């Protein structure tokens, strides 16, 4: 394990990333957006000391912006990880070393996570303002951080998968945004469309809006990050209050399994010579 965390790719990626000016720019812009919007609202609507602890809107706003930024940054951090090496013509050399494709993929994911964590830690002081003004429980805060972490992990592995699968970084970035859009917006729309059309087609089967209690539909809602985020924040949007299971737990399991699948699939796709399952059993033979 120790040797994994000091593996050469991690060291190299950190050096490359933290020496480039781009990183400083990303961090600065991120903090500007994350801090500027809530502070702007505060300035527009100054709160009195008496109102401390009673302004939930600020918390909701910060959480919303934070989630949007994660959706925006996480895929972009990894969507060029492999295709970038391919474009710079360093991938072939990397593949002739003793690093396994799984190590390469995992290291790339970990470095992007490290960077996302840096962004998260850097925004913590801003949250202290939010905590001061908003009525937020530590439990909610913890759930929110878990939620954001899972999103970072999932979107990062999605970007990584696209960059392994697709040759060019530009196309891979667009594709990973597209797939992320499906999970964020598409699943929510599907939930409404399917629910509404079932309700209208078979009103006798689902008396008084019973369609929203269907477990399949609830699962669809459970994999939609927006529903789950609202659940964590304690707000309810249309029909989401009828979910019978703990949505964020379902959400976490679903996206963690997708992450694992993406990582293994990428490692498989990255192999220059892919073995099929039946050739795994044959032992390497030495001739001479």
Partner 1 sequence: MVIETVHLSKQYGNLQALSDLNLSIDEGKVFGFIGPNGAGKSTTMLILSTLLEQTDGDAYVCGYNVRKDPVSVRQSLGYMPDFFGVYDNLTAVEYLEFYAGAFKIPAPKRRALVADLLELVNLSHKADAFVDSLSRGMQQRLGLARCLVHDPAVLILDEPASGLDPRARIELREIIKQLREMGKTILISSHILPELAELCDDIGVIEQGRLIACGSVHEVSNRDREMSIMQLRALHNQNTAALILSNHSSVSNLEEYMGGLRFYFTGSEQQKADLLQELIKAQVVVVYFGDSKANLEDVFLSITEGVGG
* Cα 261 to Cα 250: distance, rounded to the nearest angstrom: 17
Nearer to partner 1 among residue 46 and residue 272 (C-beta): 272
Picking from 239, 254, 79, 89, the residue whose alpha carbon sits closest to that of residue 183 is 254
Q: How far is CA 214 from CA 29, 240, 255, in A?
A: 43, 12, 21
Nearer to partner 1 among residue 213 and residue 274 (C-beta): 274
Nearer to partner 1 among residue 26 and residue 65 (C-beta): 26
What separation, in Å, do the N-terminal and C-terminal C-alpha atoms of the chain show? Answer: 37
Picking from 69, 61, 64, the residue whose alpha carbon sits closest to that of residue 39 is 61
* Cα 3 to Cα 19: distance, rounded to the nearest angstrom: 24
| Least Å from the CB of residue 11 to partner 1 | 7
* Cα 109 to Cα 12: distance, rounded to the nearest angstrom: 14
| Least Å from the CB of residue 233 to partner 1 | 40
| Least Å from the CB of residue 119 to partner 1 | 20
Nearer to partner 1 among residue 15 and residue 167 (C-beta): 15
Interface with partner 1 (CB under 8 A): 7-9, 11-12, 15-16, 19-20, 88-90, 92-99, 272-274, 282, 284-288
| Least Å from the CB of residue 156 to partner 1 | 21
**Positive or negative torsion for Cα 178, 184, 187, 193:** negative
| Least Å from the CB of residue 287 to partner 1 | 6
Burial of 219 (0-12, 13-18, 19+ CB in 10 A): middle
* Cα 32 to Cα 276: distance, rounded to the nearest angstrom: 49
Nearer to partner 1 among residue 66 and residue 86 (C-beta): 86
Nearer to partner 1 among residue 17 and residue 56 (C-beta): 17
Nearer to partner 1 among residue 48 and residue 286 (C-beta): 286
| Least Å from the CB of residue 275 to partner 1 | 9
H helices present in 134-235, as ranges: 138-165, 169-181, 187-201, 215-222, 225-233
Encoded tokens for 281: 């059993």
Nearer to partner 1 among residue 37 and residue 269 (C-beta): 269
| Least Å from the CB of residue 285 to partner 1 | 6
* Cα 262 to Cα 4: distance, rounded to the nearest angstrom: 20
| Least Å from the CB of residue 159 to partner 1 | 20
Q: How far is CA 72 from CA 118, 177, 210, in A?
A: 16, 8, 36
């Amino acid at each position: 394990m120790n040797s994994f965390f000091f593996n050469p790719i991690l060291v190299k990626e950190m050096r490359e990333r933290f020496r480039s000016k781009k990183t400083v720019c990303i961090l600065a812009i991120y903090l500007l957006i994350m801090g500027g919007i809530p502070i702007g609202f505060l300035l527009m609507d100054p709160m009195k000391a008496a109102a401390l602890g009673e302004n939930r809107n600020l918390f909701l706003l910060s959480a919303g912006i934070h989630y949007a930024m994660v959706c925006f940054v996480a895929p972009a951090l990894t969507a060029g990880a492999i295709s970038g090496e391919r474009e710079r013509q360093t991938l072939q050399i990397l593949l002739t070393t003793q690093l396994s494709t799984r190590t390469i993929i995992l290291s790339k994911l970990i470095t992007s996570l490290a960077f996302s964590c840096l962004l998260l830690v850097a925004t913590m002081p801003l949250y202290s303002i939010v905590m001061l003004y908003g009525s937020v429980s530590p439990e909610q805060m913890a759930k929110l951080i878990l939620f954001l972490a899972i999103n970072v992990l999932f979107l990062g592995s999605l970007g990584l998968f696209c960059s392994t699968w697709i040759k060019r970084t530009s196309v891979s970035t667009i594709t990973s945004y597209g797939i992320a859009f499906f999970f964020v917006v598409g699943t929510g729309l599907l939930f409404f469309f399917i629910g509404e059309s079932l309700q209208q087609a078979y009103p006798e089967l689902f008396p008084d809006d019973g369609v929203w209690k269907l477990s399949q539909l609830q699962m669809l809602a459970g994999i939609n990050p927006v529903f789950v985020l609202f659940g964590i924040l304690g707000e309810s949007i249309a029909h989401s209050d009828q979910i019978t299971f703990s949505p964020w737990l379902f959400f976490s399991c679903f996206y963690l399994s997708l992450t694992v699948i993406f990582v293994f699939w990428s490692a498989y796709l990255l192999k220059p010579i892919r073995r099929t399952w039946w050739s795994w059993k044959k032992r390497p033979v030495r001739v001479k």
